[in-house]
Structure 1
């Protein structure tokens, strides 16, 4: 009889409970780790998991088959590499890393260790986005001509207080922490890579809180020649405003939007339609809201991908593509 999967979690912050709740539906949560003991103990206790305060000690205990890396962005690479070298499969929260070089080393380590490396791309399971992917796949949009991605959220000063968020070495930037899901959505839908960018970015309202931009606008080009614009900000008044993506093709035009890219706002197609009602809600953290909570779909497909190497699930290459795109934008747009 096959033994249930043993899950571990590195980093017991705000997203970790989402992982814990899903892990116990597909196996056992056997270990959690955080440098803040109270945080680790609080997550471990409801699941009778063992709490660790050192990543090395947790991995040396050999209690896990799969590790969910939920630590700060800047620690994704070392924590993932350590878990892979310890013989564990890894599900890394977004972004995979905050540098392409680190992401490539993570992939190389997974191959050498014979382990699987996955990355959380929960937005791909938004019904509107999944339906649009199928529409593009079957040719209903025709040749893609251009796009516009707009990400307008609210992140007050309190969000960054006493946190790794806002630090360049741990956070990486607004596109990494707030909007990497939607950069991934663009690249996933178009099955393409971002190769060039120009534009502007600045820190206009958070000069005391963060070490990078709080808003930006970029003209970008994909490798197949399609171009478009990306506009982003965390200065929306009081609450998140929208994340929208408009696609113009030779056979139709579509815009999906809402606060979390979760509803169809416009469509005019030569054939077919997107018959999707607004669905789902965000990860709600009280003082602010994040992307839609689709970790149930993430874990369901994680288990399938572990059992079947051909099952489609976001892997290291998907993560690298997003990291590379954001790095290209940041290297091309000087901070003002």
Structure 2
């Protein structure tokens, strides 16, 4: 069969380190177009992948040689670019958070329905082996009733990772809309929904800017969450963890405690009530540090959904549910009240 021709919109770090290499390594795809408002950046990747360079995404979307696009722009452009792409008849893989409001997310979902094209949100934590194994253990009752959890995602901030360093759009509210809570927190709201197999119904949050100078977005957030069956726990998202990245989740059940990405060697450690401990070496989690996992599986899953004409594993509806927890957390912080979802 002919290859799926892909356009990359936004050539910053996430495109450079994740999307482009993963498309290049997928035998069913070829990168035919790249777009960035910084012309040199677009040109550089166009040369590397033998693709056509654009500085205007609307022009890229008019290219009939593009079947699908990755939207790797600043957050505020996720919805408009994704909707335009869907309306132009392209399948869309959109980075997280999928949008900056519920209305925009719903408009994206509607555009996918109208165009009959795939819309997938790049929530890669679902595909981490330890997270998949934990979901399986919880689903089959291995841990018994789940009581509580704590999860964190934090590192030193996007300046060490973003293509523009300290000038990055991540620090500009009109482009990012939200800081660490949108960059990292939404990964964890999605992960917990996936692992626990339940929706969150209430959230209380403190969302602060305490570590970064000259920015109007949050860099440290802590939320207390409650699921429909009454599982309660905390979620921390931060750009103020100055030495090592923390991407751990601990789940406390009646028969066992599950420690995910908490031990440097064993990506999942299960500590049973009877004293037995089972350690799994399942391969690492993708990190922003060198030597992290290179394939997030997001691209492969997106391409499989297109080829086999099936629902993507992280649909727009799923992306919206994970976004809604973050939106409600922001509202909780502003109103100083517990929000229902």
Q: TM-score, normalised by structure 1?
A: 0.88
What secondary structure does 1:109 align onto? helix
Q: Does 1:318 align with 2:318?
A: yes
Cα deviation 1:184-223 (Å, max 9, x = unaligned): 11111112222222242221121x3321222122222123
* Structure 1 runs not aligned, ≥5 long: none
Pairwise CA RMSD of aligned residues? 2.7
After the TM superposition, which parts of structure 1 deviate over 6 Å for at least 4 consecutive aligned residues? 156-159, 259-262, 270-273
1:316 CA drift (Å): 0.9
The verdict on how the C-alpha distance between 1:270 and 1:78 changes in structure 2, with shifts beyond 3 A counting, is farther
The aligned counterpart of 2:22 is 22
The answer as to 2:161 corresponding to 1:166 is: no
Q: Given the alignment of the two structures, is residue 186 of structure 1 paired with residue 187 of structure 2, yes or no?
A: no
The 1:5/1:126 distance shift into structure 2, 3 A limit, reads: same
Tell me, in whole angstroms, the C-alpha distance in 2 between the residues paired with 1:236 and 1:174: 11
Q: Residues of 2 paired with 1:35 and 1:82: CA distance? A: 17
Cα gap change, 1:78 to 1:305, in 2 (>3 Å): same
2:337 aligned with 1:333, yes or no? no
Cα distance change of structure 1 residues 197 and 280 upon mapping to structure 2, 3 Å threshold: same
Unaligned ranges ≥5, structure 2? 337-341
Q: 2:72 aligns with which of 63, 70, 73?
A: 70
Counterpart in the other structure of 2:129 = 127
Distance in 2 (CA, whole Å) between partners of 1:34 and 1:261 is 39
Aligned to 1:200: 206
The alignment status of 1:301 with 2:307, answered yes or no, reads no
Distance 1:332 1:168 in 2: 19
Q: Which is further off, 244-253 or 147-156?
A: 147-156
Partner of 1:3: 2
Q: Which is worse superposed, 129-138 or 269-278?
A: 269-278
Structure 2 residue aligned with 1:257: 261
Q: Structure 1 residues 34 and 261, CA, compared in 2 at 3 Å: closer, same or farther?
A: farther
Aligned residues: 329
Asked whether the 8 Å contact 1:129–1:261 carries over to 2, the reply is no
1:175 aligns with 2:176: no
Deviation at 1:42, TM superposition (A): 0.6
- In the alignment, which of 80, 85, 88 is matched to residue 86 of structure 1? 88
